[in-house]
Structure 1
């Protein structure tokens, strides 16, 4: 079956945190014999910061960010059996969603894949004419990056025929333990782009912990932090390509995850970084959010912090031996329960179930 997937970027993680998720999901789906084409716009300098070459599991079409190119790639939706529009493309989001509804064949499976459901739902609540709200009656399914029962209830309340979370996961061929790299040495590392609904929590959890532990070394990776005021023991290194993520996670004593405001509020939304760190057998400290126990066991496979003081307390008490034990336990858990191979089987089953329903209805 042919899949047409319209997303932000498969080739670049530059200002595009969903890249690892797309790669994991689509490579797993390709193992179920799907013929996948990923359409991504040439926007935000992503093509100048590619992390990977075009992969074997999907054909990648990079189109100019103009109306003519948009019409061309949308016309190709008519050739697909499954047509997917992801959230957060960054350009033509409204037009892409309207376009897949208009151009997809009547018998094609049409779905919206929301990689930031909490934020999208907040927008939908405040805008009765939001493009996703208007498109839901014409879509067969909504898949989400996470969110658990609160997101399912919210989407079905807006009229989605079906909403299913497909959580982040691990590709063990991509993220795995490696030797420490002196470039990323430190006591606590944090990797995330600077975004408005993340910054206050980064200040509260990461920068506050650095203030409380002036003798510890903190490393901040990600785009946009260059002009942020920070304690002197924080070293900001800018964008870290996906090829360096394993070394980034394996080199410090511990790695921090901080959810964005909306994701922390709704819960059940582990970031890609959670599974990347666990896959590298890193000792992960995460901010507290509902549903963490569904993915990792607190104090055994992950350390959970309510604020920067908790982060500092965890870090001050952490020994290399305990950090290694927590990281090893996390790696065992994600390999057993949270791989993209398992997520691919889940999505494949959803697609098969939809096709079976159509056959039964016919």
Structure 2
């Protein structure tokens, strides 16, 4: 079966936190025999910051971020059995969604794949003319990057025929334990782009902890932090490509996950970084959010912090032996229960069930 997938970028993680998620899910679906084409715009300098080559398991189409480029890729929607519009493409999001609805075949499975459900739902609550609201009657299902029961209830309340969370996970072939690198040496490392709905939480959980532990070293990777005032023991190193994530996770004594405001509020939304860190056997400290126990066991496989003071206390008490034990337990858990192979199997079953229902209704 052919899948046409319209998303932000498969080839670049630059200002694109969904890249690892797309790669993991689509690679797993390709293993089930799906013929996948991923359409991404040439925008936001992503093509100048590619961190993978076009993969063997999907056809990659990069199109100009112009009206003509948009028309050229939407014209291919009619040839697919499954047509997916992901949110957060960044250019022509409304037009892509409307085009998927209008130009896909009547018998095609139409999917809106929401990689930021909390933010999308907030927008929908404040805008009766929101394009997703307008498209829901013609969409067969909504798949989400996370969110659990609150997101399912919200989407079905807005009229979605079906909503299923497909959580982040680990691809053990790409994210795994690796030798440490001196350039990533620190007591606590954090990978996070500077975004408006995350900055205050990073100030609380990371910078406040750094200020409380001036004798310890803190490492911050990600875009946008170059002009942010920071304690002297924080080193900001800019964008870290996915090829360096394993070494980044394996080198510091611990690594930190800080959810964005919306995802922390709604819960059940583990970031890709959670599984990347666990897959590298890193000792992970995460901000507290509802549903963490569904993925990792607190105090055994992850350390949970309510605020920056908690982060500082965890780090001050963390021995190298305990850090290694927590990381090893997390690695065992995610390899057993949270791989993209398992997520791909979940999505494959969802597709099969949909086709079976259509057959029975015919």
TM bracket (short chain): over 0.9
Matched residue SS, 1:97: helix
Equivalent-residue separation in structure 2 for 1:270 and 1:53 (angstroms): 27
Equivalent-residue separation in structure 1 for 2:294 and 2:307 (angstroms): 21
Aligned to 1:116: 116
Aligned to 1:332: 332
Aligned to 1:27: 27
Aligned to 1:239: 239
Matched residue SS, 1:111: strand
Residues 78-227 of structure 1: pairs in structure 2 closer than 5 A: 78-227=78-227
Matched residue SS, 2:197: helix
> Cα offset for 1:291?
0.2
> Cα offset for 1:355?
0.4
Equivalent-residue separation in structure 2 for 1:153 and 1:134 (angstroms): 18
> Cα offset for 1:351?
0.2
| C-alpha RMSD of the superposition | 0.3
Runs of 4+ residues over 6 Å off in structure 1 = none
Equivalent-residue separation in structure 2 for 1:128 and 1:56 (angstroms): 42
Matched residue SS, 1:196: coil
> Cα offset for 1:221?
0.1
Unaligned runs of 5+ in 1: none
Q: TM-score, normalised by structure 1?
A: 1.00
Aligned to 1:3: 3
Matched residue SS, 1:4: strand
Matched residue SS, 1:172: coil
Unaligned runs of 5+ in 2: none
Matched residue SS, 2:270: coil
Matched residue SS, 1:197: coil
> Cα offset for 1:326?
0.0
Equivalent-residue separation in structure 2 for 1:116 and 1:336 (angstroms): 26
1:255 maps onto 2:232 in alignment: no
> Cα offset for 1:103?
0.4
Q: TM-score, normalised by structure 2?
A: 1.00
Aligned to 1:295: 295
Matched residue SS, 2:252: coil
> Cα offset for 1:126?
0.2
> Cα offset for 1:46?
0.1
> Cα offset for 1:300?
0.1
Equivalent-residue separation in structure 1 for 2:73 and 2:156 (angstroms): 30
Q: Map Cα deviations across residues 235-268 of structure 1 (whole Å, 9 max, x no partner).
A: 0000000000000000000000000000000000
